Structure 1
């Protein structure tokens, strides 16, 4: 696929930007996220209790951990112009956490560009639809509309 630049970004509207490689969401990553955020709820960090008491029979990743993976995976797919000065998260229009990601499962991102909204000073916002899929699972982990501000 052609690399996205400031000159050709409009050609990507309505197109699939690709599918990332699979990455594992292991217990170590979940534990690190729990430490970083202070969210140490047992369903995320207590492996033995989760096996006994959780309806998922395993610990699960925080929803916001799954969401945080979207940005890095989207960058790998080249979801913004490579020649922009600055690309920053602008927000989310919609996020749905559909299926919990169990510790040890692998996820990947499918991304499509939904639109571009011009701003002042030649800046613009890219809106993309993101689906974080779970390997061997029909339902995705999440679906989101992500927004990034692009500064030329």
Structure 2
């Protein structure tokens, strides 16, 4: 998706504006299990469905916080964070990450992205800071909020 008139040349005009809202993504047990396998985080609250039904305060398994955090980049790209006149967009870091509400297995999430600031670094490089709110369908509080940094390259 592209954002109307959003480009490296006009990026300053978008500071303080919402860039968009991604489509919903399902965080199912298969995704949670794959993340656990990749990271080695096999804590029962994420991967033991039966035990989580019995013992978890959430009534079932929940996604890893870092799994939900890892969804931000792809969902921001889906919205159009990397303008068409940029040759690349690279992760640059994170600020102020807060995990607010656990994401239950099977829940749908989406990312609301707002451009917070733009810092020109020279050589066609620009660092953008975005506020990301990973919303959970049917929940009042988001799964997480995070300021993320990306370097856009002309």
- Residue in 2 that maps onto 1:63: 65
- Residue in 2 that maps onto 1:21: 23
Contact 1:132 1:140 in 2 (8 A): yes
Counterpart CA distance in 1 for 2:15 and 2:5 is 14
Counterpart CA distance in 2 for 1:39 and 1:121 is 40
- Residue in 2 that maps onto 1:32: 34
1:103, distance to aligned residue in structure 2 (A): 0.1
Any idea what SS the aligned residue of 1:115 has? strand
Q: Which runs of 4+ in 1 moved over 6 A?
A: none
Contact 1:98 1:142 in 2 (8 A): yes
Any idea what SS the aligned residue of 1:55 has? coil
- Residue in 2 that maps onto 1:83: 85
- Residue in 2 that maps onto 1:92: 94
The correspondence of residues 83-122 of structure 1 with structure 2, limited to 5 A, is 83-122=85-124
The alignment status of 1:43 with 2:37, answered yes or no, reads no
For the aligned residue pairs, the C-alpha RMSD in angstroms reads: 1.0
Contact 2:82 2:88 in 1 (8 A): no
Task: For structure 2, list consecutive stretches of 5 or more residues without a partner in the other structure.
Answer: none
Counterpart CA distance in 1 for 2:125 and 2:75 is 23
The alignment status of 1:9 with 2:11, answered yes or no, reads yes
Counterpart CA distance in 2 for 1:31 and 1:92 is 25
Contact 1:4 1:80 in 2 (8 A): no
Question: What does the per-residue CA deviation read over 1:66-95, in whole Å, with 9 as the maximum and x for residues that have no partner?
Answer: 001111110010012222122100000110
Any idea what SS the aligned residue of 1:80 has? coil
Q: How does the TM-score come out when normalised to structure 1? A: 0.96
Q: How does the TM-score come out when normalised to structure 2? A: 0.95
Question: What does the per-residue CA deviation read over 1:88-112, in whole Å, with 9 as the maximum and x for residues that have no partner?
Answer: 0000011000000000011011110
